[in-house]
């Protein structure tokens, strides 16, 4: 099946990034939000990102205008009907995702693939809300979507070979390198990343070193582009806590048990860059 039109459910940070890479790759894109206010905010984020690419010389004004012309915003799920692939990028709430999948299943043609951008939730459970469980898989982009080159494809025990092959071809068409993981908590990246981030919080909480020295040690000692506490602030402390809790709930492995400091920072609203304060202060 040839993919010409892509649907994206959700125009938040991840959704707008997915829309951007699809539109720049030449796909017609339909993107939805729960109301017009959120939709306009998401489309504004898309416009800003494309404008930044132009200002940095990574795209021309004509390319930006052509990409924007391929994008249609909507608050009506029925507008996804002509799509050849739909990617759900809503908040990490299983019941909401299952509701979205069931609604899409009733609108889309039987052969259309439905993917989820979830970073940790069970794809099989989402597929159970549809009558096309062989056409469902994880399509997990990384933040920021226009920059990060990886696309993690998550195959359930029901996903058929054709669906995976189409998803791999799609990933390559939007400039991503694809890897394939089984439908287990955290998939590949977060299965390894989350314990590392939680351990960084624990050693900071225990007073082993300052936040700056922890980050510097990892950057210079392991050649990482940023330290773990800086990375936590970028990813979002609430997002990290949610993923850790979901993984601990299913695996019951103490490596995924969130330290008290992380939970208290989230309760205090110190979520990282998006709130202006996390392990570092971004308000200035």
Instruction: Match 């597929």 to its residue by tokens.
Output: 127
Specify whether the backbone of 95 is left (phi greater than 0), alpha (psi in -120 to 50) or beta. Answer: alpha
d(CA 174, CA 102) in angstroms, rounded, equals 27
The C-alpha angle with vertex 150 and arms to 114 and 20, in degrees rounded to 5, equals 65
- Catalytic amino acids? 119, 140, 152, 190
102 Cβ contact partners less than 8 Å away, ≥ 6 residues apart: 129, 130
Radius of gyration over alpha carbons of the chain, in Å? Answer: 19
| Number of other residues whose CB lies within 10 A of the CB of residue 181 | 18
205 three-state secondary structure: helix
């Amino acid at each position: 099946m040839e993919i010409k039109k892509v649907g994206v459910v959700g125009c938040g940070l991840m959704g707008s990034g997915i829309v951007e890479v699809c539109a720049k790759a030449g796909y017609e894109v339909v993107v939805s939000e729960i109301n017009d206010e959120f939709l306009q905010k998401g489309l504004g984020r898309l416009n800003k990102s494309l404008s930044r690419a132009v200002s940095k010389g990574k795209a021309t004004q004509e390319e930006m205008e052509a990409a924007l012309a391929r994008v249609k915003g909507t608050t009506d799920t029925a507008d996804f009907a002509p799509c050849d692939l739909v990617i759900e990028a809503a908040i990490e709430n299983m019941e909401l995702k299952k509701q979205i999948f069931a609604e899409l299943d009733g609108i889309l043609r039987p052969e259309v693939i439905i993917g989820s951008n979830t970073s940790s939730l069970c794809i099989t459970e989402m597929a159970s809300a549809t009558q096309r469980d062989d056409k469902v898989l994880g399509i997990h982009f990384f933040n920021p979507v226009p920059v990060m080159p990886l696309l993690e494809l998550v195959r359930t025990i029901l996903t058929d070979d054709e669906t995976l092959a189409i998803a791999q071809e799609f990933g390559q068409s939007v400039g991503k390198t694809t890897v394939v993981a089984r439908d287990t908590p955290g998939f590949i990246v977060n299965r390894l990343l989350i314990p590392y981030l939680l351990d960084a919080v624990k050693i900071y909480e225990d007073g082993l070193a300052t936040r700056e020295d922890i980050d510097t040690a990892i950057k210079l000692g392991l050649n990482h582009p940023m330290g773990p506490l800086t990375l936590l602030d970028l990813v979002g402390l609430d997002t990290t806590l949610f993923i850790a809790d979901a993984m601990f709930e299913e695996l019951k492995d103490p490596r995924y048990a969130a330290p008290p400091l992380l939970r208290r920072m989230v309760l205090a609203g110190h979520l990282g860059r998006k709130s202006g304060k996390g392990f570092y202060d971004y308000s200035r």
